[in-house]
């Protein structure tokens, strides 16, 4: 099964498509992970093609096991080359963690917020693969851009975890529960 999520265009920005990562995305993935700003905030960055291939295999396994729903983010202007990533990582008791990044050429255009909101709507009400009631969003405390994206998408800053996972300088934890705020078109194949 392939799932494609669509976020409509906004202002000058074209529609976004979110779809599972594919093996032909390898080059875009490696290129994005060469960015030192991106690597600074990732808990895991991909140093080479071998690491990227392994990561892509893990994403496929996550979909198959219904525990990790990882989407490549694409726009009409960049063709089929992914410019971002958003993921829903399922935990226990209806809780999942979301994460995202955008490639350097996509930053400052609202793409991260649109992709996150699209995946959030899908995770909390637009899918029937797993039952989710709460989404956690963790980011490095000094990543103000990520904090703005979380707030723009209705994720409430809940706390600063005492032992943040993989963020040595501290972290913020934002949360979101189901809300009725619009429709997202989902395509299943």
3-state SS string for 122-150: HHHHHCCCCCCCEEEEEEECCCHHHHHHH
- pTM value is 0.88
Tell which residue, 124, 103, 106, has the closest CA to residue 175: 124
Nearest to 125 by CA among 96, 105, 148: 96
Of 106, 102, 120, the residue nearest 178 (C-alpha) = 120
Query: Which residue(s) pair with 171 in the sheet?
Result: 140
pLDDT at res. 181? 39
Domains located in the chain, CATH noted: 3-188 (3.40.630.30)
The residue among 148, 36, 40, 22 whose CA lies nearest residue 85 is: 22
Distance CA 77, CA 91 (A): 35
| Predicted pLDDT of residue 158 | 81
What does each of the 189 residues of the chain score in pLDDT, given as a tens digit? Answer: 579 999 988 888 889 999 999 999 999 999 999 999 988 888 888 989 999 999 999 999 999 999 999 999 999 776 789 999 999 999 999 999 999 999 999 999 999 999 999 999 999 987 989 999 999 998 888 889 999 999 999 999 987 665 555 555 678 889 999 863 343 334 433
| CA 151 from centre of chain | 15
Model pLDDT, residue 169: 67
34: enclosing H helix or E strand: none
What CA–CA distance (Å, rounded) separates 9 from 3? 19
């Amino acid at each position: 099964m392939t799932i494609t999520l669509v976020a409509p265009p906004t202002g000058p920005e074209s529609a976004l498509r979110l779809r599972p990562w594919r093996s032909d995305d390898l080059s875009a993935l490696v290129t994005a992970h060469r960015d030192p700003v991106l690597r600074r905030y990732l808990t895991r960055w991909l140093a080479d093609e071998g690491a990227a291939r392994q990561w892509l295999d893990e994403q496929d396994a996550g979909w198959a096991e219904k525990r990790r729903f990882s989407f490549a983010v694409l726009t009409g202007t960049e063709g089929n080359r992914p410019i971002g990533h958003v993921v829903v990582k399922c935990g226990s008791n209806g809780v999942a963690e979301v994460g995202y990044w955008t490639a350097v050429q996509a930053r400052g255009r609202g793409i991260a917020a649109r992709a996150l909101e699209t995946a959030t709507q899908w995770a909390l009400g637009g899918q029937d693969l797993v039952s989710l009631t709460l989404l956690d969003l963790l980011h490095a405390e000094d990543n103000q851009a990520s904090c703005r994206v979380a707030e723009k998408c209705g994720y409430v800053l809940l706390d600063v975890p005492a032992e943040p996972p993989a963020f040595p300088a501290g972290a913020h934890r934002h949360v979101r529960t189901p809300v009725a705020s619009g429709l997202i078109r989902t395509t299943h194949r």
